[in-house]
Structure 1
Amino acid sequence: MQNPNEDTEWNDILRKKGILPPKEVPKEDEEEEELALQQQSVVKTYESMTLDELEENEDEFGEEDEAAIEMYRQKRLAEWKAAQIKNAFGELGEISGQDYVKEVNKAGEGIWVVLHLYKQGIPLCTLINQHLNTLARKFPQTKFLKSISTTCIPNYPDRNLPTIFVYFEGEMKAQFIGPLVFGGMNLKVEELEWRVLEVFCMCSCFQGRLYDDFTVCRF
């Protein structure tokens, strides 16, 4: 008589038809399958935990889980740091010349800085500050700053105002100088946004060339 548990094509057909019962799974295989399911369950538990939850439940996991726990802890920590950087700013800050190196040149790795040199009493400067405040809220991962021109750069000529400098990782990537480049008081926030984002995109697409030089927009 043919063994019903034997791995044959005929037995497989009979099992599908319901003539033969399902193949008996050896006890060793059952134990291995159960262990694999338990491990998968533990992994899913890691994935769903926050940093605090991993710390709180650390004692509940065995020694064999330590490597996996550490891996997911590092993953959660990296995600948390990325979120902190992404939402680090969110408002138009004010700096003086003394803050320039720290806030602009040493802004940090991966940080874009948009700096507006302005003077009170110049309507277009006031308009651009309003637009930059809007953009700062829209792009909290970018540092938007303003500074009174002569406190930032001594004897900076009023005819060059407004001026916007764009930096990435402490290096200047573009500068927009003078009222004509902005189109006067008809400047819309969307237009200013496009000018800034265009610099970001160009530097991202042509890193090698544009990181060694910068775009000059001056009339």
Structure 2
Amino acid sequence: MQNPDADTEWNDVLRSKGIIPQKEAEITEDDIVQILEQTVQEKQHGKAMEDMSLKELDRIEDDLDDEDERMFEQYRRQRIAEMQAFQLKAKYGDVGEISKADYVREVNEAGEGVWVILHIYKQGIPICSLINQYLTTLARKFPATKFLKSISSVCIPNYPDKNLPTIFVYFEGDLKKQWIGPLAFGGMNLKQNDLEWMLAQTGAIQSDVDEPVKPVIKDVMNIAIRQSNINDDSDDDDDD
């Protein structure tokens, strides 16, 4: 008796007449990838990965030959490991408020592999409020990064208002980048994408936003110091 699953012209005729059932479509590697990518998305939205993956895997495993099954199992383990690693890192998601007493524990001792973004601000300064608003959104977008904020007088006594806002970026307790004063952020013209791009350049977040047309990052502190030195020299010459 001829195999009804065989790809022959005669079987094609029989299928077209409804005499034998249509051959089930073979599951390809792309199908497997699509199923697992859907599992990742469901996991990121809070659905239990185990429930989703078991249903999908039970549906396809019976249709795989030995070679496909080995490939599938290897890919599944890899994707599950990636998802578990992401979930372990994605443990923040908001902007924590700290004081001077919390600084060492929350910043310097944040832990291995942890990026910390700390905003030093003061209530009543518009650009500080703007940055706090942006950071709240970015903290939700990048939950693997630790976002913090602290009122300047609470965190750093006698910290001058002219230095606000200030953002410090730490990795594993070491200071990697800092922006000090409104000019470093481009003033109130700062957009959320600008700030996201700035932070991404440090490695603290993984973002695909395009570079601003006019980059807001400026070494304004060094410029101010050099300008101050020039002014001091001019004053000395006048005294002579």
In the TM superposition, residue 216 of structure 1 has moved relative to its aligned partner by 9.2
**Deviation digits for residues 25-78 of structure 1, max 9, x if unmatched?**
xxxxxxxxxxxxxxxxxxxxxxxx95xx9xxxxxxxxxxxxxxxxxxxx98996
Flag structure 1 segments of 5+ consecutive residues without an equivalent: 1-48, 54-73, 202-214
C-alpha distance 83-199 of structure 1, shift in aligned 2 (>3 A): closer
Matched, 1:97 2:100: yes
Deviations 1:126-165 (A, max 9, x none): 0000011111111110011100012111111111000000
Q: Who is 2:145 aligned against?
A: 142
State TM-score, norm by structure 1: 0.57
Alignment partner of 1:129 is 2:132:
yes
> Over aligned residues, Cα RMSD in angstroms?
3.3
Is residue 188 of structure 2 the alignment partner of residue 185 of structure 1? yes
Q: Tell me the amino acid that sits aligned with residue 189 of structure 1.
A: Q
Report 1 or 2 for greater relative contact order, CA contacts < 8 Å, sequence distance ≥ 6: 1
TM-score (norm 2): 0.52
- Structure 2 residue runs of 5 or longer lacking an equivalent are 1-48, 55-76, 205-216, 222-240
Q: Is the Cα–Cα contact under 8 Å of residues 124 and 162 in structure 1 kept in the other structure?
A: yes
Classify 1:99/1:161 alpha carbon distance in 2 versus 1 (closer, same or farther; 3 Å). Answer: same
From 183, 195, 205, the counterpart of 2:198? 195
Larger Rg: 1
Count of residue pairs the alignment pairs up: 144
Stretches of 4+ aligned residues off by more than 2 angstroms: 74-81, 83-86, 215-219
Identity among equivalent pairs (%): 64
8 Å CA contact 1:174, 1:217 repeated in 2: no
Provide closer, same or farther for how the CA distance between residues 100 and 192 of structure 1 changes in structure 2, counting only shifts above 3 A: same
Distance 1:216 1:186, change over 3 A: closer
Q: How does 1:11-22 map to 2 (within 5 A)?
A: none
State the Cα deviation string for residues 180-217 of structure 1 (Å, max 9, x = none).
1111111000000011101118xxxxxxxxxxxxx994
Q: Report matched runs for 1:153-172 at 5 Å.
A: 153-172=156-175
